[in-house]
Amino acid sequence: MSERRRECGIQNPESRIQNLDSGRLLGFFLTLALIFYGALGQAEELISARVGTLEKSKKLVVPIPPLASITGQDDTGATWQQTGTMAGALDRVRGDFRQSMRTGGWVLDKTIAVGRAVNRSELAIWTIRGHRILLMIWEKEAGLCGFSWGEEK
């Protein structure tokens, strides 16, 4: 039977594995590893662009959730540095901001509930590498929240 396989060009599957060139196999795995680490590096660049990092100029960048939109910005330091809105209930928006801030390396220092009901607005103090910001989130109307943040100096 094995002579018949040789005549027809059929190889034993086990012999194929034994005949693999170890250099080709190693090259394949190295290429696969480079692709993986390259994609990982690009993902880290994208995340660090969206998540808060401190630039060399010491300008503070605060991570905001992807669905939030910035409506105002002021770099003078006299008022809120950024303001904006985000669709959703206050609890969900608050949770999204907490997730974004924690992903960016920020630590929640203190939370203060403001307003008639506990879920009407919230002030939070976040810290990172010696910087402190005050973040305010409030319900503008049903299904829409506003936010503002400024650095404490």
Would you write out the chain's pLDDT as a tens digit for each of its 153 residues?
Answer: 556 655 656 565 555 555 545 556 666 666 766 676 665 555 555 444 444 444 334 678 899 999 999 999 998 878 899 999 999 999 999 999 999 999 999 999 999 988 876 557 999 999 999 899 999 999 998 899 999 999 987
pLDDT value of position 80 = 93
Sheet strand arrangement including 107-114? 69-73, 82-87, 144-152, 131-141, 121-128, 107-114
pLDDT value of position 15 = 52
Phi and psi at 35, nearest 5°, equal -65, -45
pLDDT value of position 95 = 95
Residue 111: name the closest of 92, 87, 127, 100 by CA. Answer: 127
pTM for the predicted model, two decimal places: 0.60
Fold type of domain 69-152: Protein Transport Mog1p; Chain A (3.40.1000)
Run of H or E residues at 38:
helix 22-50
Spatial contact of 122 and 129, defined as CB atoms under 8 Å apart: no
Distance CA 70, CA 135 (A): 14
Q: What are the beta bridge partners of residue 70? A: 84
Tokens linked to 33: 């590893």
pLDDT value of position 115 = 81
Burial of 29 (0-12, 13-18, 19+ CB in 10 A): exposed
Tokens linked to 30: 């190295």
pLDDT value of position 149 = 96
